[in-house]
């Protein structure tokens, strides 16, 4: 079993990624940490708590973390996932308190523990919590077995600016800190997540499942603000389960972190020291089959 910490900002596609993770017996989800991203951190943390309860995993601890990016006074949020981040869908579970400790401390605690070298981090939101933990404990992120990141756009247009993807744009300095931390990085940019489109038939099959989890996820997807809903955040989880679904190349990924029109832009260089494996190819049918099979296991 792979020990995993998930850092996220639910977010409808984050919800699907959390569902995939907890429905997969190959993964041992040790903790979920939350960051300001799609919505403010108080909302994303409450959403993560409620989602895990919905999926039958009240035992997984949830920690709230950074409320704003490293360089800016306000969180950069969006309304793609609705005001409450989950499309206004009533989950039918109580909003329990999350753990009081800060997400960056929880992350550091796990990475510094004997489990640290076996821990895989999956980051599906702005990278502020990871960057804060690395700044507090230099060398920390390099301890992880690997860090799977959904973020960036290498050879395709961005989704919030001509060249910038949301997670990197929402905290470009944090993305820079993580890309330069000397960690084993596996990055899933829009180049690959843009191929992870849910088809109408797949969505209809999900909506036909009678479980409370499938019903809630289908209701969220019915109001997802993306034209062709994409499984962005499920990609870095799916790669832990079925690496053969993804193809890419190693290279040097840099993020433009300085404020200005290019901030949040990611560039892949073939020269210089390699810092990441960057995925650009996907077996979409394979991903959709995996998702369907795993989501059917949830309550």
Residues annotated as part of the active site? 232
CA distance 291 to 295: 6
Helix (H) or strand (E) holding 299: none
Helix axes 212-222, 41-54, angle to 10 degrees: 140
Q: Output the smallest distance, CB 271 to ligand BDR, in A.
A: 27
Select from ligand BDR, Ca ion, none the partner in contact with residue 93, using the beta carbon and a kind-dependent cut-off of 5 to 8 Å: none
Q: Output the smallest distance, CB 118 to ligand BDR, in A.
A: 25
Q: Which residues pair with 122 in a beta bridge?
A: 6, 148
Q: Output the smallest distance, CB 170 to ligand BDR, in A.
A: 8
List the structure tokens of 162. Answer: 């001509």
By the rule CB under 6 A, 156 interacts with ligand BDR: no
The DSSP call for residue 244 is: G
Q: Give residues 2-31 in contact with Ca ion (rule: CB under 5 A).
A: 9, 11, 14
Q: Give residues 163-192 in contact with ligand BDR (rule: CB under 6 A).
A: 165-167
- Which distant-in-sequence residues (6+ apart) come within 8 Å of 91 by Cβ? 50, 51, 53, 54, 216
Our CB check for ligand BDR shows the closer of 166 and 257 to be: 166
Which is nearest to 98 in space by CA: 66, 130, 60, 143?
Answer: 60
List the structure tokens of 84. Answer: 């409450």
Our CB check for Ca ion shows the closer of 43 and 143 to be: 43
Out of 125, 126, 172, 248, name the contact with Ca ion by CB under 5 A.
125
Contact assessment for residue 158 and residue 263, using Cβ atoms and an 8 Å cutoff:
no
By the rule CB under 5 A, 229 interacts with Ca ion: no
Contact assessment for residue 191 and residue 155, using Cβ atoms and an 8 Å cutoff:
yes
Q: Output the smallest distance, CB 47 to ligand BDR, in A.
A: 11
| CB-based burial, 178-206: b 16+ in 10 Å, e otherwise | bbebebbbbbbbbbbbbbbbbeeebbebb
By the rule CB under 6 A, 34 interacts with ligand BDR: no
Q: Output the smallest distance, CB 11 to ligand BDR, in A.
A: 4
Residue in the block written with tokens 């990624």? 17
3-state SS class at 54: helix
Contact assessment for residue 193 and residue 159, using Cβ atoms and an 8 Å cutoff:
no
Pick the stretch among 101-109, 129-137, 159-167, 195-203 that binds ligand BDR (CB under 6 A).
Answer: 159-167
Out of 4, 5, 6, 11, name the contact with ligand BDR by CB under 6 A.
11
By the rule CB under 6 A, 146 interacts with ligand BDR: no
Select from ligand BDR, Ca ion, none the partner in contact with residue 51, using the beta carbon and a kind-dependent cut-off of 5 to 8 Å: none
By the rule CB under 5 A, 175 interacts with Ca ion: no
Select from ligand BDR, Ca ion, none the partner in contact with residue 169, using the beta carbon and a kind-dependent cut-off of 5 to 8 Å: none
Residues that bind ligand BDR (CB under 6 A): 11, 13-14, 38, 80, 124-125, 150, 159, 165-167, 232-233
Residues that bind Ca ion (CB under 5 A): 9, 11, 14, 124-125, 233
């Amino acid at each position: 079993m792979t020990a995993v910490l998930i850092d996220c900002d639910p977010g409808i596609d984050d919800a699907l990624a959390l569902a995939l993770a907890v429905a997969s017996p190959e993964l041992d989800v040790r903790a979920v940490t939350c960051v300001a991203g799609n919505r403010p951190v108080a909302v994303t943390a409450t959403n993560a708590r409620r989602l895990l309860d919905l999926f039958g995993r009240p035992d997984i601890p949830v920690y709230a973390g950074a409320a704003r990016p490293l360089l800016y006074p306000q969180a950069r949020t969006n309304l793609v996932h609705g005001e409450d981040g989950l499309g206004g869908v009533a989950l039918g579970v109580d909003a329990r308190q999350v753990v009081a400790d800060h997400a960056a401390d929880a992350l550091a605690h796990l990475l510094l523990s004997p489990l640290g070298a076996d821990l895989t981090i999956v980051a599906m939101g702005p990278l502020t919590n990871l960057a804060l933990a690395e700044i507090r404990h230099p060398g920390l992120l390099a301890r992880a077995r690997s860090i799977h990141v959904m973020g960036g756009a290498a050879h395709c247009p961005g989704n919030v600016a001509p060249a910038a993807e949301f997670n990197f744009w929402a905290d470009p300095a944090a993305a820079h800190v993580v890309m330069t931390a000397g960690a084993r990085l596996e990055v899933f940019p829009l180049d690959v997540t843009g191929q992870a489109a849910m088809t109408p038939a797949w969505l209809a099959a999900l909506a036909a499942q009678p479980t409370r989890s499938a019903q809630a996820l289908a209701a969220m997807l019915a109001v997802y603000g993306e034209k062709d809903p994409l499984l962005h955040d499920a990609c870095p989880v799916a790669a832990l389960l079925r690496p053969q679904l993804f193809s890419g190349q190693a290279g040097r990924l840099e993020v433009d972190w300085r404020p200005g029109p290019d901030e949040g832009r990611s560039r892949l260089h073939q020269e210089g020291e390699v810092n990441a494996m960057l995925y650009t190819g996907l077996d979409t049918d394979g991903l959709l089959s995996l998702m369907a099979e795993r989501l059917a296991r949830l309550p």
